[in-house]
A and B are shown apart, each in its own frame.
Chain A
Amino acid sequence: MTAREAVETSGAAERGRSVAAIRRLLPEEVRGALGRHFLIAVPFLWLGVFFLAPFLIVLKLSFSEVALAMPPYTPIAEWVDEAGSIHLRFTLNLSNYLLLVEDSLYRRSYLNSLGIAAVSTAVTLAIGFPIAYALTQVARRWRFALLMLAILPFWTSFLIRVYAWISILKTEGFLNQLLAWLGLISEPLQILNTNWAVYLGIVYSYLPFMVLPLYASLERIDVSLMEAAADLGCRPIKAFWVITVPLALPGVVAGSLLVFIPAVGEFVIPDLLGGSGSIMIGKTLWSEFFNNRDWPLSSGVAVILLVLLVVPIVLFQRLQLRRTVG
């Protein structure tokens, strides 16, 4: 070590010691509390500004009127000069909500979305449960590879997986080719651009979201419970219904919510597979916004959609929170 290096090192050490000394002036608890608050504040502020505040803006905008301006809406609060006195005037415009409630197109959009999401969730559960259950029965050395295979589609692009179905479902597509070759049909089936294609698309795209929570809760079930039931003379099928299904319930609820909530607001699937005849609320919102440029009305659509989804979202939050605490 050269003399200069030695001086520099000792200087650094000196500085380090004085910083530590200053730190020590603050009591331990204060320092801990400061760090804690900083830790909480950073993600809290970010999500508050970029996730919570935007909803309030949506709510505000849903009470304004569309206008030919940029941004294309009227303010709900403005300073006006009336007979010399300047005051703040609020204009709450309810016409967006009246339109959404009275116009049968919007009502149908909401009901259709809820119905399609509910049926798709039930079908996803019916398909996902046997897969998740079978995964828990597979020998350990295969399980990792099979689980990976179940998760992999979840990582690949949603848009691409939906696109893949277009070539399968269209009139001259693979499915019709196969059915014709098997001699099952003489005329090609019209599946693409119907609600059948939307159901299929949702079940296919969201299946991994159902299988993973189901597998997680099924895997935790103690095998000895099933052994005890068998020892006590319970038949396997009955044991399955009495033991496995109730214990898997948290996974069933979590998986169903993970499918149902986003499916209600789904845009890509009804747009690409459902065609013009398929009306879902996510598509309605999109076209009000991008095609009609009616920002206030699309905000109203979003607010009502959120109100419809409040119960399932709160349920999902509860479930997640219990997992972090428990």
Chain B
Amino acid sequence: MRQGLSAVTMTALALGYAFLYVPILLLVAYSFNESKLVTVWAGFSLRWYGALFENQQLLAAAWVTLRLAVISATGALVLGTLAGVVLTRIGRFAGRTLFSGLVFAPLVMPEVITGLSLLLLFVALDWSRGPATMAIAHITFATAYVAVVVQARLATLDRSIEEAAMDLGARPAKTFFVITVPMIAPGLLAGWLLAFTLSLDDLVIASFTTGPEATTLPMYIYSKVRLGVTPEINAVSSILIGLVAIGVLIASVALKVSEERRQRDAQRAAAPRAAMVPR
């Protein structure tokens, strides 16, 4: 009984999306502004984008950030998948409450606390701080997000397929890699991307856990923003927004297509069985 959209829901959606998108669109639009004053339009120009590619400091920071994000996302994918499997496939075990607490707490833990505590650990261990310690920090907090995504995917999976593989003699590890991984692949992709963007965005935890040499892009942007808005920051922000938007759109369309194919296959597989059922 879904009637057409009422005026109220239409308005709620229009206002909600305007609130979410107008600031971002303004930011992108004014990155093409000729003027050095960010809020006064003076004609179309690409000069700030040109300036980006001559800014060595910024390019170096971008390179550090990119490598950090790839390493952190990959590490978090492995750990988060293990945690997701433990939470959904292994029933009760001693310490399960503590385990799930450790997995989910980073989702809500204020970043200043996570950052400070990790820094104190690295100092206590006397590890020199830099890209490696930042990667450990990012893996630790992104694992929680991957675990949530993977666990959601595993929970909706039909377990009888895994059970069938094991009944036919496949070892649990083989069953996992041959049966489970392909079925949760979209979730794994989404988890990796999420961890990647979290690492790409992080300012607070990276500021605590970095050393004197390694500066990430958010740290560079933050140090510039504190001095005021500049069109160059608008330009670099627009590039980041564009890249993330394209990545997420491609991934989500891929997810949707694979989901639809899975449902179609399931229907097709169920059809002959349904025909055999006596009426």
* Interface 1/0 per residue, A130-141 and B, CB below 8 Å: 110111011100
Q: Which residue of B lies closest to A324 (CB)?
A: B87
Number of interface residues of A (CB under 8 A): 93
Contact residues of B between 100 and 152, Cβ < 8 Å to A: 100-114, 116-118, 120-121, 123-124, 136-137, 139-140, 143, 147-148, 151
* Residue A274 CB within 8 A of the other chain: no
* Residue B55 CB within 8 A of the other chain: no
Are B13's CB and A50's CB within 8 A? Answer: no
Are A268's CB and B30's CB within 8 A? Answer: no
* Residue A317 CB within 8 A of the other chain: yes
Are B116's CB and A36's CB within 8 A? Answer: no
* Interface 1/0 per residue, B155-195 and A, CB below 8 Å: 10000000000000000110000000000000000000110
* Residue A97 CB within 8 A of the other chain: no
CA separation between A30 and B144, bound complex, in Å? Answer: 30
* Residue B62 CB within 8 A of the other chain: no
- Size class of B's contact patch? 35 or more
CA separation between A223 and B20, bound complex, in Å? Answer: 29
CA separation between A157 and B196, bound complex, in Å? Answer: 11
A48-B102, A223-B2 are known contacts. Are A131 and B225 too (CB-CB below 8 A)?
no
Are B116's CB and A289's CB within 8 A? Answer: yes
A50-B136, A53-B121 are known contacts. Are A305 and B237 too (CB-CB below 8 A)?
no
Are B112's CB and A137's CB within 8 A? Answer: no
* Residue B97 CB within 8 A of the other chain: yes
Are B120's CB and A46's CB within 8 A? Answer: no
Contact of A156 among B111, B245, B252 (CB under 8 A): B245
Q: Which of A3-11, A78-86, A99-107, A146-154 contacts B (4 or more CB under 8 A)?
A: A146-154
Residues in A neighbouring B151, C-beta threshold 8 A: 324
Contact of A262 among B110, B207, B237 (CB under 8 A): B110
Are B204's CB and A227's CB within 8 A? Answer: no
Are A285's CB and B237's CB within 8 A? Answer: no
Are B233's CB and A51's CB within 8 A? Answer: no
Are B237's CB and A47's CB within 8 A? Answer: no
Residues in B neighbouring A157, C-beta threshold 8 A: 197, 200-201, 218, 237, 240-241, 244
Contact of B102 among A51, A130, A160, A167 (CB under 8 A): A51
Contact of A58 among B1, B111, B117 (CB under 8 A): B117
CA separation between A326 and B165, bound complex, in Å? Answer: 25
* Residue A90 CB within 8 A of the other chain: no
CA separation between A210 and B249, bound complex, in Å? Answer: 21
* Residue B61 CB within 8 A of the other chain: no
Q: Which residue of A lies closest to B28 (CB)?
A: A164
Residues in B neighbouring A39, C-beta threshold 8 A: 82, 85-86, 90
Residues in B neighbouring A144, C-beta threshold 8 A: 256
CA separation between A25 and B248, bound complex, in Å? Answer: 48
* Residue B99 CB within 8 A of the other chain: yes
CA separation between A32 and B151, bound complex, in Å? Answer: 21
Are B39's CB and A177's CB within 8 A? Answer: yes
* Residue A35 CB within 8 A of the other chain: yes
CA separation between A257 and B107, bound complex, in Å? Answer: 11
Known pairs A39-B85, A316-B107 / 8 extra A-B pairs, C-beta < 8 Å:
A130-B8, A130-B12, A137-B5, A138-B5, A157-B244, A282-B112, A286-B204, A324-B87
Binding site for A on B (CB under 8 A): 1-2, 5-6, 8-10, 12-13, 16-17, 19-21, 23-24, 26-27, 30, 38-39, 79-80, 82-83, 85-88, 90, 93, 95, 97, 99-114, 116-118, 120-121, 123-124, 136-137, 139-140, 143, 147-148, 151, 155, 172-173, 193-194, 197, 200-201, 203-204, 207-208, 218, 221-222, 225-226, 229, 233, 237, 240-241, 244-245, 248-249, 252, 256
Closest 6 CB pairs of A and B: A265-B110, A54-B117, A134-B9, A130-B12, A131-B16, A47-B102
Q: Could you show 27 A-B contacts with beta carbons less than 8 Å apart? A: A47-B140, A50-B137, A51-B102, A54-B117, A57-B120, A57-B121, A131-B13, A134-B5, A134-B10, A137-B9, A144-B256, A156-B240, A157-B241, A159-B201, A160-B27, A163-B221, A167-B30, A170-B39, A258-B107, A265-B110, A267-B112, A282-B111, A282-B112, A290-B207, A298-B116, A316-B107, A317-B100
